Amino acid sequence: LLTFARGGEPVKKVVSPRHLVDEALSFVLHGSNVKGVVEMPDSIHAFEVDEGQISQVFQNIIINATQAMPGGGKLTITGQNDELYAMNPLSLPAGPYIRLTFSDQGCGISEEDLERIFDPYFTTKSMGSGLGLASVHSIVKKQGGHVGVHSQLGLGTTFEVWLPASTGKVVE
């Protein structure tokens, strides 16, 4: 929240996407009736990010997915190496990226709400603050990436997070 409000610069280090995803899933889904499935090849690149901020991004997306499936369900997180070329539709610099996809089987998001979900203080929840997805958007952008969303009412929601890949080695 402070990063979002102050616009603090990320403190980056080379980390494993698999490690951060597993950690976020374990933390958020503990005691939940939502099943987390991770599909990520061993060959996935590392990325150089602020570990705490990206953990917050993953946790916020996972929390929203669990809240969209109060009766339980499956959250599938896939990761893959990708290459973006100049003039790509995401308006990101060309280069290697990691694309992480978070797909739930929840209630979905209406078209009108999809246009506003990253706006600060916009929420459809009675107990929500509207800062979770606004923080997600702000953090991912500061890390040099992109976040997008696709949803259908009654069928679920998919968030795609694109972050620049790193050639550095993960420090355990």
How do residues 3-49 score in pLDDT, each as one tens digit?
455 556 678 889 999 999 999 999 999 888 999 999 999 999 999 89
b/e per residue 42-71 (b: at least 16 CB within 10 A): eebbbbbbbbebbbbbbbbbbbbbbbbbee
pLDDT at 135 over 90: no
Spacing of C-alpha 117 from chain mean position? 14
Claim: this prediction has a pTM higher than 0.75:
yes
Q: Are 157 and 68 in contact (CB under 8 A)?
A: yes
Categorize the per-residue pLDDT at 122 as very low, low, confident or very high, splitting at 50, 70 and 90. Answer: low
